[in-house]
Amino acid sequence: MQKSIETAITTGALADLADRLAGATTSDLAEIARRMSGDGVRPATLLTQATALAKRTEREGRLLACQLLPHTYDLDPERTVRILARLVDDGDWTVRDGAATAAGRLLRADFRGMLPHVRGFAEDASATVRRAAVVAAGRAAHPHHLERAEPLLKLLAPLLPNPDPALRRALGPSALGGGLLRHYPRITFEYLTQWSTSNDANVLWNVTAALSSPAAAPIAKKALIILRKLSLDERRFVWRAVASAIWKLGRKCPEIVRPELARWIEDERRVDVARAALQHL
């Protein structure tokens, strides 16, 4: 496969290339995109190729288009984003993931230029497109760009009540916990505290999921303030999320969490949460 792909890249035979991608891994496709963008291919040609690949019936062709879009953005941002918008709502979940990752790369590289487009994704009727906005936001967080924190938090805020399971998994534990809380702990915790006053179960799930991430360990004592309050929620969906957060936090900070759970086990309002958490500690 490698030799035929090499020939197709060298000759610019796009149809031949697309036909030879079956079984290519993400790493293979990233390398092919790097080669295509660095082998003297004119940017306009690269954009034409990405456009054609995005329409291929073979999944690998569309995945390669996802890899090419970060290389075409500078030439024509609007056209690149139009292609991206189609791919983030693709019927194949691997293509959707590839496109969401590309959106994150673009937002990270051109925050000001891409932010309006990602906001558009966040407001889309499709849950899969909204999920792409969440993934992009998490990937755009960077400790050297503190000015991004509040725009990203405000971007995610309207999505917190969304009940879609895939979007929720991308939001609470990943974008909020793994991205924003990790890189912007102070302001993200302020927002989590504010959101923890909501009565919406999905909002509270996302708050607790963020506090279950490794990024919560350095602020474990403050995290417990929120978790202590949410442990009184009688909805199983919420208190089970609290139990999950508390045992994950307890593995990182047992000296802080275990005394807290010892008090909870004696509290009839929190005993179920404490027992669920202690099963994993």
Does the model's pTM come out above 0.75? yes
Domain 1-140 CATH class label:
mainly alpha
Please report the pLDDT score of residue 39 as a whole number: 59
What are the sequence ranges of the domains in the chain?
A: 1-140, 164-281
Superfamily of domain 164-281: ARM repeat domains (1.25.40.290)
How far apart, in whole angstroms, are the C-alpha atoms of residue 11 and residue 9?
6
CB atoms within 10 A of CB 5: 18
Q: For the residues of 248-261, what is the DSSP string, one character each?
A: HHHHH-HHHHHHHH
Please report the pLDDT score of residue 14 as a whole number: 57
CB 249 within 8 A of CB 216: yes
Residues in the chain predicted with pLDDT less than 70, given as ranges, are: 1-19, 39-41, 43
Please report the pLDDT score of residue 34 as a whole number: 84
pLDDT, tens digit, for every residue of 173-225? 999 999 999 999 999 999 999 999 999 999 999 999 999 999 999 999 999 99
Please choose, from the candidates 50, 51, 148, 157, the residue with its C-alpha nearest in 3D space to the C-alpha of residue 107: 148
Please report the pLDDT score of residue 25 as a whole number: 80
Please report the pLDDT score of residue 33 as a whole number: 84
How far apart, in whole angstroms, are the C-alpha atoms of residue 73 and residue 79?
8
pLDDT, tens digit, for every residue of 245-263? 999 999 999 999 999 999 9
CB 157 within 8 A of CB 194: no
Between helices 201-210 and 220-230, what is the axis angle to 10°?
A: 160
